[in-house]
Amino acid sequence: KAGVTQTPRYLIKTRGQQVTLSCSPISGHRSVSWYQQTPGQGLQFLFEYFSETQRNKGNFPGRFSGRQFSNSRSEMNVSTLELGDSALYLCASSLGTGEKDTQYFGPGTRLTVL
Amino acid sequence: AQTVTQSQPEMSVQEAETVTLSCTYDTSESDYYLFWYKQPPSRQMILVIRQEAYKQQNATENRFSVNFQKAAKSFSLKISDSQLGDAAMYFCASHGEYGNKLVFGAGTILRVKS
């Protein structure tokens, strides 16, 4: 099976812009989670989507939003970008059949905000 | 709140020798999984091993094994016959209080010397 894919792999934006990141899960996986990785804060959970519904949310401002499509692909949007949003954004997919299961990660999108 | 602690920021091991990475966690959950993920310089997060909390038997995957001490909330990773390709950042992770959210430790950089 193909793994989790994320596009784009690299992105450079300026403050105030918005950005959309995409994630395609492993075939058959219905849950998609997003994480932000920074040197200062480490890996932090953003949100999880399952069957097109947000099932869980981390402690991030409303500028961070997401959605999931009927084919389980997910997008994450960040509006009004700030310098502190520069990070590696990781998407992970899992079967979603249980409340807790094993997550498999994509290669990440490196976002740089100038 | 759920916490995962990796007390070793950096470890070194000679090729072909054994190294143990430490992890402690704190959870009020009764049903959860614990994970070790490896993140090489490519930044791709790779699942190394998984432990189901209700299983007393320690998980093993080839050269990788864990020492799971549930009462002590300890979950260490042992890498036997270390190889140059094992050099990476290793993250310990546990399910959070709600759903599929993963809580990560700060990571341990493993260096393998030839």
Q: What is the pLDDT of residues A22-58, one digit of tens each?
A: 999 999 999 999 999 999 999 999 999 999 999 989 9
pLDDT in tens, A7-28: 999 999 999 999 999 999 999 9
Q: In chain B, which among 91-110 make CB contacts under 8 A with chain A?
A: 91, 93, 95-96, 98-107
HEC readout, B31-98: CCEEEEEEECCCCCCEEEEEEECCCCCCCEECCEEEEEECCCCEEEEEECCCCHHHCEEEEEEEECCC
The total of other beta-carbon atoms located within 10 Å of residue B87's CB is: 18
Backbone angles phi, psi at A113, to 5 degrees: -110, 120
Kindly state the average pLDDT of the residues B74-86. 97
- A73 pLDDT band, cuts 50/70/90, is very high
Answer yes or no: are the C-beta atoms of A113 and A87 closer than 8 Å. no
**Reduced to 3 states, what is the DSSP secondary structure of residue B23?**
coil
Cβ contacts of B55 within 8 Å, gap of 6 or more: none
Q: What is the pLDDT of residue A12?
A: 98
Find the mean pLDDT for residues B91-109: 90
Say if residue A74's pLDDT is above 90.
yes
* Across A85-110, average pLDDT: 92
**Burial of B103 (C-beta count, 10 Å sphere; 0-12/13-18/19+):** buried
Residues 3-62 of A with CB under 8 A from B: 31, 33, 35, 42-43, 45, 48, 50, 55-56, 58
**Alpha carbons B43 and B40: distance in angstroms, whole number:** 6
The distance of Cα A91 from the centroid of its chain, to the nearest Å, equals 4
What are B43's two structure tokens?
Answer: 């930044």
Check CB contact of B11 with chain A, cutoff 8 Å: no
- Give residue A86's pLDDT band: very low, low, confident or very high (50, 70, 90): very high
Q: Which residue has the tokens 């007390």?
A: B7
Position A39, amino acid: P
| pLDDT value for A48 | 94
Q: Would you state the pLDDT for residue B31?
A: 79
pLDDT of residue B113: 97
What span, in angstroms and rounded, lies between the C-alpha atoms of B45 and B54?
25
**How long a stretch of residues is chain B?**
114
Q: Is the pLDDT of residue A98 over 80?
A: no
- Residue B5: predicted pLDDT: 97
- Looking at chain B, the whole-number percentage of residues with pLDDT higher than 70 is 99
By Cβ distance, the residue of A31, A105, A108 closest to B100 is A31
- Residue, of A1 and A74, whose pLDDT is higher: A74
Which tens digits make up the pLDDT trace of B5-35? 999 999 999 999 999 999 999 988 877 899 9
Q: Residue A25: which of A57, A54, A50 has the closest Cα?
A: A50
Structure tokens at A53: 């519904």
Amino acid at position A93, single letter: S
Structure token pair of residue B14: 């000679």
Q: What's the pLDDT at A104?
A: 96
pLDDT of residue A1: 72
For the segment A75-89, the average pLDDT, to the nearest whole number, is 98
**What per-residue confidence (pLDDT) applies to B30?**
78
